Structure 1
Amino acid sequence: MHSARIASVAAAALLAGTAAKAADPVATATMMNQDQAEIGTVEIFETADGLLLRADLSELETGWHGFHIHQTGACESDFTSAGGHYAPDDSGHGFYTENGGHAGDLPNIYVGENGNAMADFHTTRVTLDGDTAPLMDDDGSAIMVHADPDTYESEAGAGDRVACGVVEPVGG
């Protein structure tokens, strides 16, 4: 009887812990397609050792897509205003390369048959506004979805830019 009561208390504590409110995002990017229609968000959370990016996207083509941080916080017309991949230390691209890529490299996302994608990515290569690879530097940063998957080699090969969102602080 005593062990059953302990198990019940432990289960209640576990359920209470899972029901606890998650941390609030410190920044967000409202993702737009090239028609400037909103197709989702990327929320950015600070963690003890980096940033967590949570993507919730819709209305994309089924399949794998490159997903990157770009160097400039601008998403005009064809999204070239966002510049290249975010590489403040001028490091090369690609997880499979000798140096393992640059700050803007993130894993590909997969979009299901319904056109939706959800993903969490953790990175220690960027900060929100710190000294090392800050997303909120003078010209900001953008989150980009590409038409094709990233090769993870020195040339991304991810194709056209199909969705873009400017990283903006929450409440700022």
Structure 2
Amino acid sequence: MLKLVVLLGFLAAFCAAENKGIAIITTGVSGVSGSLTFTELSGGGVHIVGTIKGLTRGKHGFHIHSKGDLTDGCGSTGSHFNPYNKTHGAPDAEHRHVGDLGNIEAGANGIATVDITDKIICLTGETGILGRAVVVHSGEDDLGLQDTDESHTTGSAGSRVGCGIIGIL
């Protein structure tokens, strides 16, 4: 019995360990670059931190896209990660794509400091983001609040100016 208790204690400690991912943001064209670290939280969700530079001043849509495919740059990353087939929304909205992470904001120096905790995404499993792409858009995400098809699918956030595949760290 003692061996079983020790084994269960070891497994519980092992499962509570924080899993991590990383994405290096590049485009090859617009000069947007940076790095992001994704840390899975023991209570659920993922904490995303890092910096992205080379952006225009202001808010930029920030999403997880369905494919980790950069063969055609950010254009081949597919649509927003949406395993539950919902409409686009804010990170705290009831109806949102799993990949809808809202906006990041760049200052006058073109640098955005990212510090986001999202309770829906995970690194693995049904809402897993490992192997998918993180994408930064040219404009502000309207969070699906406008009455247009584009708002309800992409947040009208504009073109893709930076992206990276989320890998294991």
**TM-score of the aligned structures, taking structure 2 as reference length:** 0.77
The whole-number CA distance in structure 2 between the counterparts of 1:80 and 1:57 is 19
The whole-number CA distance in structure 2 between the counterparts of 1:88 and 1:40 is 27
Question: Residues 88-107 of structure 1 correspond to what in structure 2 (within 5 A)?
Answer: 88-95=83-90, 99-107=94-102
Identity %: 31
Does the 8 A contact of 1:34 with 1:162 survive in 2?
no
Q: 1:96 to 1:121 in 2, by over 3 A?
A: closer
Secondary structure of 1:81 counterpart: coil
Structure exhibiting the larger radius of gyration computed from Cα positions: 1
The whole-number CA distance in structure 2 between the counterparts of 1:143 and 1:96 is 15
Structure-1 residue corresponding to 2:61: 66
Structure-2 residue corresponding to 1:56: 51
The answer on 1:75 being equivalent to 2:70 is yes
Unaligned runs of 5+ in 2: 1-16, 145-151
Does the 8 A contact of 1:25 with 1:43 survive in 2?
no
Give the deviation of 1:26 after TM superposition.
0.9
- Aligned-residue Cα RMSD (Å) equals 2.4
Q: Which of 31, 42, 61 is the matching residue for 2:36?
A: 42
The whole-number CA distance in structure 1 between the counterparts of 2:91 and 2:78 is 23
Secondary structure of 2:101 counterpart: coil
Q: 1:63 to 1:152 in 2, by over 3 A?
A: same
The whole-number CA distance in structure 1 between the counterparts of 2:121 and 2:91 is 19
Q: 1:126 to 1:157 in 2, by over 3 A?
A: same
Structure-1 residue corresponding to 2:149: none
The whole-number CA distance in structure 2 between the counterparts of 1:98 and 1:128 is 21
Unaligned runs of 5+ in 1: 1-22
Give the deviation of 1:97 after TM superposition.
10
Does the 8 A contact of 2:23 with 2:35 survive in 1?
yes
Structure-2 residue corresponding to 1:152: 143
Return structure 1 stretches of 4+ with deviation > 4 angstroms. Answer: none
Q: 1:96 to 1:37 in 2, by over 3 A?
A: closer
**TM-score of the aligned structures, taking structure 1 as reference length:** 0.75
The whole-number CA distance in structure 2 between the counterparts of 1:97 and 1:86 is 16
Which amino acid in 1 is paired with 2:96? G
